[in-house]
Amino acid sequence: MRIGLVSPYAWDVPGGVQVHIRDLAEAFMEQGHHVSVLAPVEDETGLDDYVFSTGKPVAVPYNGSVARINIGVKSTGRVRTWIREGDFDVIHVHEPLSPGVSTMAIWAARGPIVATWHSSIEKSRLLSAGFALAQTIMEKISGRIAVSELARQTLVDHIGGDAVLIPNGVWCAHYAEGDPLPGYPHPGGAMVFLGRLDEPRKGLQVLLAAMPEIIEAHPDVRLLVVGPGDIEATKEGLPEAVTQRIEFLGRVSEEDKVSAYHSADLYVAPNTGGESFGIVLLEAMAAGTAVLASDLDSFSRVLDRGAVGALFSNGNSADLAAKANALLSDEARRRDLATLGSQRAWLFDWSRVSSEVMDVYLSVTTTGEKVTEDLRGQFVGRWGRRSAGAPAGGR
């Protein structure tokens, strides 16, 4: 099958949606399918052959974070070129209502189109204001997927209709084997955090506020912080006793990320909101690392309501410290959680998840219709002129 995957967010900037699309693409390519990914790209140097760039993204606030998306006449031309040259049996658009490449791809194509909702949004003025526009997009979608119940509820509440639940996936075998970083495992115990330092909803400040109490109980504990951001700004105002026990790794390779999981006794996810799933929890579980997470509903679901990982009260640094101290002092409990977590992670392995996604593809491609360029002239919007018949941009 010839499959086109669409990412609204910059391909070379870390993010859960991009990782999901990359892993799904790799799963299908391993199965012998032809896959092409359409996405904004900041730096096209060394870009994988299967990625088709729509140009440089711009940063805009979106859903409590900063999304790097791509809009404009030039990118519209590239979207149409990709569709015209792809000869796809199906295109699979992620975050179909996100402004930019995803919406452009749906407007510019006709034929079998599948869409996946990733985000959880309780209230959205943008979606409410653009309801009529969203409906025109929804009419062209043949199959709908949501990665979580919260993402599905966002679709139901804001747009209407429903979607099949297919969770995020994880390559369990990839995370199961890994060498710890130099100096680890640490004899005084170690925790790891993964997320952008300057994104409040990732909750690093909640974890840092808990560190003095954790250090009091475990004086030699170490905290590995993985992710991009301003390290000096993050350290500002922290007691020296805390900063001495933190190792900032910055943005790391996939291999080093796996090593970080294998270096820690405990993975801590202090995220405060805006999470519809929790792929980082699955990664840590697949690596055999015990998990402690805030009790967001999405995290609680991944952790089977606390059966395979510990939960603390969202935003409560004191509760985080108490739960972390208890786990750092109880090797047997950590080992039990690691075993249970690893077993549960395999339920989300890409070998299973990609098969469920393929079932959706097959359900919308039964007639053998190909995806073609939509030349009906309906693609008119804030990005400028009527695009039907517009010249295509280059790669």
Same domain, 226 and 90: no
User: Which pLDDT value is given to residue 14?
Assistant: 76
**If you ran DSSP here, which 8-state letter would residue 349 be given?**
B
Same domain, 330 and 197: yes
pLDDT-above-90 percentage for the chain: 74
Distance CA 40, CA 146 (A): 23
Q: Which two tokens stand for residue 17?
A: 């949606």
* Rounded mean pLDDT, 67-75: 71
Tell which wins on pLDDT, 242 or 391.
242
Domain that holds residue 64: 2-169+349-373
Distance CA 153, CA 149 (A): 6
Same domain, 337 and 190: yes
Same domain, 196 and 165: no
Q: Which two tokens stand for residue 353?
A: 């998840």
257-301 residue pLDDT tens:
999 999 999 999 999 998 878 899 999 999 999 999 999 999 999
In a domain, 393, yes or no: no
Q: Which two tokens stand for residue 137?
A: 């997009």
Distance CA 231, CA 258 (A): 21
Q: Which two tokens stand for residue 202?
A: 């990732």
Residue 246 belongs to domain with CATH number? 3.40.50.2000
**Which residues, other chains included, contact 157 with Cβ-Cβ below 8 Å and sequence gap of 6+?**
none
1-29 residue pLDDT tens:
999 999 999 998 878 899 999 999 999 99
Tell which wins on pLDDT, 275 or 338.
338
**Distance between alpha carbon 269 and the CA centroid of its chain, in Å?**
14
Confidence of residue 391 (pLDDT cuts 50, 70, 90): very low
Same domain, 343 and 363: no
Confidence of residue 386 (pLDDT cuts 50, 70, 90): very low
Amino acid at 168: N
In a domain, 236, yes or no: yes
Same domain, 333 and 355: no
In a domain, 394, yes or no: no
**Does an H or E element contain 61, and which?**
strand 58-62
223: which strand partners? 191, 246
In a domain, 288, yes or no: yes
In a domain, 72, yes or no: yes
Same domain, 186 and 286: yes
Distance CA 126, CA 121 (A): 11
* Rounded mean pLDDT, 48-75: 76
The answer to which of 72-81, 103-112, 386-395 has the lowest mean pLDDT is: 386-395
Same domain, 73 and 181: no
User: In a 3-state reduction of DSSP, which class is residue 52?
Assistant: strand
How many other CB atoms sit within 10 Å of the CB of residue 297? 15
The pTM (predicted TM-score) of the whole model is: 0.83
User: The dihedral of CA 286, 289, 295, 296: what is its sign?
Assistant: negative
- pLDDT of residue 395 exceeding 50: no
In a domain, 381, yes or no: no
Residues shown for the chain: 395
User: Which pLDDT value is given to residue 379?
Assistant: 47
In a domain, 252, yes or no: yes
The answer to which of 53-67, 76-90, 313-327, 332-346 has the lowest mean pLDDT is: 53-67
Q: Which two tokens stand for residue 140?
A: 């062209």
- pLDDT of residue 110 exceeding 60: yes
Q: How many independent structural domains does the chain possess?
A: 2
User: Which pLDDT value is given to residue 124?
Assistant: 53
Distance CA 136, CA 115 (A): 14
In a domain, 309, yes or no: yes
* Rounded mean pLDDT, 127-133: 56
Q: How many CA atoms lie within 13 A of 114 on its CB side?
A: 25
Distance CA 7, CA 40 (A): 8
- Where does the chain show beta strands of DSSP type E? 2-6, 34-39, 51-53, 58-62, 65-69, 90-94, 109-110, 113-117, 143-146, 164-165, 190-194, 222-226, 246-250, 266-269, 290-294, 310-312, 372-373
User: Which pLDDT value is given to residue 375?
Assistant: 85
End-to-end alpha carbon distance in the chain: 23
Same domain, 112 and 232: no
Query: Which residue in the block uniquely carries the two structure tokens 């299973």?
Result: 352
Same domain, 116 and 154: yes
Same domain, 35 and 85: yes
Distance CA 63, CA 118 (A): 12
Closest of 273, 20, 18 to residue 123, by C-alpha: 273
* Rounded mean pLDDT, 301-323: 97
Mean pLDDT of the residues in the chain: 89
Cβ atoms of residues 86 and 37 within 8 Å: no
User: In a 3-state reduction of DSSP, which class is residue 179?
Assistant: coil
Query: Which residue in the block uniquely carries the two structure tokens 């002129």?
Result: 385
Same domain, 285 and 364: no
